Amino acid sequence: MEGSLYFGQFSIAPSRRSLVRDGKSVSLGSRAIDILLFLATDPGTVKSNSEIVRHVWPQTFVDEANLRVHMSALRKALGDNQSDPQFIVNLPGRGYTFIAPVEVRSEPGPSEVKPSETPSPVLNEPSSGIFGRDEVIESVSRQLARTRLVTVVGPGGIGKSTVARAVVSKCGSQTEVVWIDLSEVGKDDLVPTIVAGALGVASRSDNVIRAIASFLHERDILLVLDSCEHLVAGVAELVEKLLAQASGFKILATSREPLRADGERVHRLLPLGLSERDVTAEIALRSPAVRLFVEKADACLGGYKLTDDDAVHVIDICTRLDGIALAIELAAGRLETMGVAALSRSLSDGFRILTRGRRTAMARHQTLRATLDWSYLILSPAEQAALRQLSVLPGWFSAELGEVLIGGDEAGDLLASLVAKSLVVAAISTNDTLYRLLDTTRLYAGEKLRETGNRPKTIKCLAGHLVGVLEAAERELYTTTANGWSRDFATYVPPLRAALDWTLAAGGDQRLGVRLTIAALPLFFQQSMLDECLAAVSMAIKFLENDPGTDETSRMKLYSALGWPQLRSTDAPEYGFEAWSTTLRIAEKLGDVDHQLRAIWALWVDAINKGQPRAGAKMAERFVLLAAKSPDPTDSIIARRLRGANRHWIGQHEQANRDLTGMIADYSEISPERHAIRFQFDQNVAARTINARCLWVLGFEDEAFNEVETAVRYAKDIGHTLSLSNVLAEAACPLALLSGRYDLAANYIRDLRKHTKALSLDVWHTYADCFEAELKLHSGQYDECLAQLRPAMRVLRNQGFLLFQTIFLAVDAQATAGSRRPEEAQQVIGSAIAQCLSSGERWCLPELYRIHGNLHLQSSSRNAGSAAERCFGQAMRVATEDGAVAWQRRLSSEIQRDRVPLSLVARSH
């Protein structure tokens, strides 16, 4: 036929055997060109399969599967599909017919051929920009320049073919590129025939590899083998023989696992880079994953710009989809029917939502489920079972845990095989290799596990293994920091959550859940997982209370966790005292010294938190006596910390400093990593916290802040948020405020807010409100101070946390006086002093008397002077008796300003 054939957006020139779309060359194999010309030159006529095969492969035996492969490539190039064909229709049992109108036009002469119509071996460029792959494309291109076989490997939908197309586009004009899509080839032994057909090599089947090698020898050809994962054995055999028998040509393959062929260089394609959370749209757009989503959203909606409000949702979408390009593209396509926020919320059902891909995409890339179906169905039955078992593991997990769940002698090999096939991600470090399933893969495999009915059995296996690991490590977890762990126990946290969710729920193995909860207590503590711990403990106790008396040891351990002071929400019921009292009664009945010590310690903390140091002194002495009977010598050293801390609160600062200094020294000699986390805080940090307060009151301000910094730095180093929050709340913030170091105080308060907000440590977070209110007092914002301070104090008072109530009342009194309400201020400071006299609290009593004296001097009462003199006298007397040099200095400052009669100093000595 003379002239070019025009149909739709396409044209094809028979003489040049080139397919053009809108002026741009479309890469198509020679056999597919033959098929297109055969059908298009006789539109409307049905051509049987045998007719097409005889025409395209004359004198060569070809299986009809070969025809289907080339027909698929042809339809893909035309953008056609079977459900709504525009060009070629398949008539089952009869053959194919070309249905589009065809117009024949004269071909231009040689001088009229446009460059864009020159046949090109390169496939269509991607329809949009390629994000975050520049370095990958350059790396693969460099590898191809140095070697003859490169395989781009990665999970389905990650963009392997896109990268391959970009690499091909960088090839020089002298390089001929032949792209062969193997996705629809069903058998390994068909691979040589398909490759020969794409190259236009006619040969008997028994000589096909030799014929291909002869054709390729010394030719500058890049052979692209796309989607090899289901044919790796056949493809590997073919490429090894071709590379051995012919020189010059090169092979670029894409696959979900390496070919493992001789001479292969593998480039594993990682997910698109993600963005940090809580950033602006401008910063989010630096992420390739976010840029891809925005471009696809813009194409879907006909105009879309990322806003700061949308950024948080888009980042969440891309993160939950693990930066997988196909999944992100499918997600953006759903914006036709829902907003970005709703799309983010809906991704818990990702397979339902992530549908409706491009019509021209391969069938397995039109929905996320189809993509994963493709990966799953090409696995062996053993590999499928292994993937299903691993689906119960969220986050990273160790090889040991993965192999336990897979089970059997081949577990290690199966795990390695899933990594090779890009269904499990491996992160290799100097210490150990960790693994994880991408969330989309895990959800899919989880569905498959549910279909088998084996999920309860698998979760039970997981829970049982975790119980064994954590029970064996109990001592280590209680006494060793994370830096000294024999293994990375933090990696057990995600599977622990999954196991607890099932075991403690109705229908789960709740008795196993109780055991797992108890085994996990030290890990919860070490990782500061407070809310999750208390939720699990409450559910476990509820289960045991329904069957009283059957497991008192477990009930004791659970109540000890339920009573942890300062860990419960400020609007939660008062668990502490009752829970620890119950723990103590059970421990005494069982003769359990360890839990008796824990309970007595907690009841001491409860007394201190309630501002009752006299009652606390009795508990501290009780702890000292019982610690002497403990087989752990550390307990007697910790007893000195309790006694030293209690002495500080009742004003015995020198004795407290001696106790605490000696305790710190003795504690460090036992073992640098023996930290009794079972007593809530790292004991080194806890001792330094109170010792810093003692040093400050004794007048050693610089030494006090050195102690604070040492404690803060150490708490950060060991990663224990509870201990860090404790030193910030009880030493760093109040001492910076008392010293007038307001910038430093503001920094410490910010730190306290950050760490307590992240873990819902409501009590300490409320302390931060109070400290911040005091900053407003010192800047003269009296009303603002009271507006923030009083609600916070009310929250603390309602929950029984009165530890700093007296010093906060002193702030209240000064702000009230600043707001010109002197009588109310007198009442406030008077109530603070009365509380100290009643409870035995004395550490700040001189300061309360000093403030009371100043308030008298500000009043207009006739006896204001004598009342002030009595208060200042009381302040100097208590400060002198207690050796509280810091409070004495404050009084001396008043003297220098002629506010305190000099006679007071003489009488006080």
**CA 857 – CA 853 distance, rounded (Å):** 6
Strand order in the sheet with 397-398: 397-398, 433-436, 425-428
Question: Are residues 784 and 748 in contact, defined by beta-carbon separation less than 8 angstroms?
Answer: no
Phi, psi of 401 (to 5 degrees): -65, -40
Residues 6+ apart with CB under 8 A from 448: 376, 384, 387, 388, 391
Going by C-alpha positions, the residue among 278, 273, 269, 270 that lies closest to residue 293 is 273
- d(C-alpha 6, C-alpha 104), whole Å: 6
Query: How many residues are recorded in the chain?
Result: 909
Dist. CA 772–CA 789, nearest whole Å:
8
Rounded CA-CA distance 746/900 in Å is 31
- CATH class (in words) of the domain with range 134-268: alpha beta
Handedness of CA 815, 821, 824, 825 (dihedral sign): positive
Q: First and final CA of the chain: distance in angstroms?
A: 123
Let me know: does 355 contact 368? Beta carbons within 8 Å: yes
Distances (CA, A) of 61 to 54, 188, 206, 211, 716: 9, 18, 11, 15, 74
What is the Cα 360 distance to its own chain's centre? 35
Residue 760 confidence (pLDDT) = 53
pTM for the predicted model, two decimal places:
0.59
Intervals of the chain under pLDDT 70: 1-2, 15-16, 59-66, 69, 82-83, 106-129, 172-173, 203-206, 348-367, 429-431, 479, 481-484, 564-575, 671-680, 757-761, 895-909
pLDDT attached to residue 566:
44
Under 8 Å between Cβ of 414 and 517: no
Q: What pLDDT is recorded for position 129?
A: 61
Evaluate the CA torsion angle 556, 561, 566, 568 in order and state its sign: negative
The CA distance from 649 to 689, in Å, is: 13
CA dihedral of residues 31, 36, 41, 45 (deg, nearest 10): 110
Which pLDDT tens digit goes with each residue over 194-251?
A: 888 888 887 655 678 888 999 898 888 899 999 898 899 999 999 999 999 999 899 9
CATH 1.10.10.10 is right for the domain spanning 380-453: yes
| CATH of region 4-117 | 1.10.10.10
| Lookup: tokens for 784 | 């603002």
Tell how far CA 140 is from the center of its chain.
30
Round to whole Å and give the CA distance between 524 and 296: 42
* Whole-angstrom distance, CA of residue 324 vs CA of residue 162: 13
Q: What is the pLDDT of residue 44?
A: 82
pLDDT at 573: 39
Mind listing the pLDDT tens digit for each residue in 303-313?
Answer: 889 999 999 99
Radius of gyration of the chain, Cα coordinates, nearest whole angstrom: 38
Positions of E strands within 264-351? 265-268
